[in-house]
Structure 1
Amino acid sequence: MKLLPRLFSRRPAFSAALAPDQAFYAVGDVHGCDAQLERMLDTLAAGGHPTAALVMVGDYIDRGDESAAVLSRLFEIQQAAPQGQMICLKGNHEAMLLAFLDDPARNGPRWMRHGGLQTLASYRIAPPMRPDPADAWHAARDQLRAALGEDLELWLKALPTRWQSGNVLVAHAGAQPTLPVEAQPEDALLWGHPDFLTRCRTDGLWVVYGHYITDNPEPADGRIPVDSGAYATGRLTAALVEPGKASYIHSE
């Protein structure tokens, strides 16, 4: 029997033009690095795009030492900004904080392992440890809730998981590549999807995302990464997304 050669078909490469409805800045994961955030915001304010919206991709807290200052800064700036000019998205670390507020004894140990220790410390709250009784976790939750204040807690709860301009989607951890925007599960937007970094979308939608630390971020295959690991590298990254191009700004 003659064997026929196996035929392989290549998936089509992503080729859609970058076409947001407006120019905007997307700032990567801050993770408690308030000094870098302040410098980045000053740089963007002087960047010559006064009408460009500012989109924060989430993960404002944990790992770095200044989570309380970061949340206060972002909340105050957004409250004062014109409607739609500043968008703060939810990241998986904000989701863990909110889960801690909801059920501290159950969700607290996981959050502590992923940076919650530093966030509590930024509010001068002693973190419980896993063997501690439920009462200790509830006491820490009550202290954090009081430190945040009602307005900031409500702001955190209301953070959206995605924002879109033209054919550009911004979501903290990207998106499931085979599903349209309106069908995206929240877990994919906050925690990522196993196919996101390897499979191109076929609907012409670009995705700006954080969550995955990238040493030298650049636009490729419909993806625009903006997380440069500020808490570990001291380098905060933003992308200026415009019709036809995306460029990067770094703050250290």
Structure 2
Amino acid sequence: MIYAIGDIHGQLAQLDRALALIAADGGGDAPVVFLGDYTDRGPDSRGVIDRLIVGRDAGRPWQFIKGNHDRMFQRFIESGDCHDVAIRSGLSWLNPRLGGDKTLASYGIVPDGPPVFDLDAQGREVLRDYPTTEGNLDLTALVDLARARVPDAHVRFLTDNPLTVTAPGHLFVHAGVRPGIALADQVEDDLIWIRDGWLDNTDDHGTMIVHGHTALAHPTHFGNRIDLDAGAGYGHPLVPAVCDDAGDWFILTDTGRQPIALAE
């Protein structure tokens, strides 16, 4: 058996509940694949990363995949980059819609008002002023403060996580794969961001693709892929899932296993 948890997005209480459901079903040392997006939007990204690192360092058979929000957070700390080429709207990672402000707040950098942006020639948000309980900060000061507050171990965790995890008959990835491209030739931007050309694809990829990234009302089996993002980043419950030894998938609930929903 192998268990999987979709996008967590800073929801520590939901993560603890999901882990408790897994422990009740498969024991405390059950193998778990985490599908990325540990940060942003929810209230405790720091607590989520702490919990995952503690479990990893205790020797639990947990595997972690990098998500697009994890990369945005990592790049902000490393270089002050607030943008990603895949965000066509030009939104900054610091915009509350993307949730970087909630991540920084979990490290003690607490907003005291909305961030103020200008727009550059490409229509991207450029931070002018970030009000905090410690004063108004420009981008340079904000990055410096974040580097002082975010533990190196958290940055290493975000940096070192792989883009995929394999198990018999399955490929675990954050967003999906580019159809028509060999799995060995997939590129990072697709693996952590793809939607167009992927979500409506019905090809047999030679293995079951298990992913998150695209929030649904509940985890859903599409025949060639399984989407486990049930919208925890938007305040919905985090729903863990399990694949049994026969290759059948179930979600875990307070009343036990239930077959994963099939796409209509």
Task: State whether TM-score is above 0.5.
Answer: yes
| Alignment match, 1:124 | 108
Classify 1:250/1:144 alpha carbon distance in 2 versus 1 (closer, same or farther; 3 Å): farther
Tell me which amino acid in the other structure corresponds to 1:164: T
**Is 1:67 aligned to residue 38 of structure 2?**
no
| Alignment match, 2:121 | none
Cα pair 1:208 1:224 within 8 Å, conserved: yes
Higher helix share: 1
Offset of 1:145 from its aligned partner?
2.2
Classify 1:78/1:183 alpha carbon distance in 2 versus 1 (closer, same or farther; 3 Å): same
| Alignment match, 1:81 | 59
Distance 1:199 1:188 in 2: 14
| Alignment match, 2:134 | none
Greater shift after overlay, 204-213 or 240-249? 240-249
Offset of 1:50 from its aligned partner?
5.8
Classify 1:151/1:106 alpha carbon distance in 2 versus 1 (closer, same or farther; 3 Å): closer
Cα pair 2:82 2:94 within 8 Å, conserved: no
How many residues are aligned here?
Answer: 226
| Alignment match, 1:13 | none
| Alignment match, 2:258 | none
Distance 1:192 1:168 in 2: 18
Distance 1:233 1:153 in 2: 25
Classify 1:51/1:222 alpha carbon distance in 2 versus 1 (closer, same or farther; 3 Å): farther
Q: Deviations over 1:153-190 (max 9, x none)?
A: 11211011110112211111011121222111101110
Tell me: higher relative CO, structure 1 or 2? Use CA pairs within 8 A at least 6 residues apart.
1
Structure ID, larger Rg: 1
| Alignment match, 1:112 | 94
Gapped regions of structure 1 (runs ≥ 5):
1-22
**Is 1:47 aligned to residue 25 of structure 2?**
yes
Distance 1:169 1:197 in 2: 16
| Alignment match, 2:250 | 247
Scaled by the length of structure 2, the TM-score of the pair is: 0.78
Cα pair 2:82 2:93 within 8 Å, conserved: no
* 3-state secondary structure, aligned to 2:239: strand
Scaled by the length of structure 1, the TM-score of the pair is: 0.82
**Is 1:33 aligned to residue 35 of structure 2?**
no
Q: Taking every aligned residue pair, what percent have the same amino acid on both sides?
A: 33
Tell me which amino acid in the other structure corresponds to 1:48: G
Cα pair 1:29 1:229 within 8 Å, conserved: yes
Cα pair 2:215 2:229 within 8 Å, conserved: yes
Offset of 1:49 from its aligned partner?
5.3
Classify 1:97/1:106 alpha carbon distance in 2 versus 1 (closer, same or farther; 3 Å): closer
Offset of 1:51 from its aligned partner?
5.9
CA RMSD, Structure 1 to Structure 2 (Å): 2.2
After superposing on structure 2, the runs of 4+ consecutive aligned residues of structure 1 that deviate more than 6 Å are none
| Alignment match, 2:34 | 56
Higher strand share: 2
Offset of 1:250 from its aligned partner?
4.6
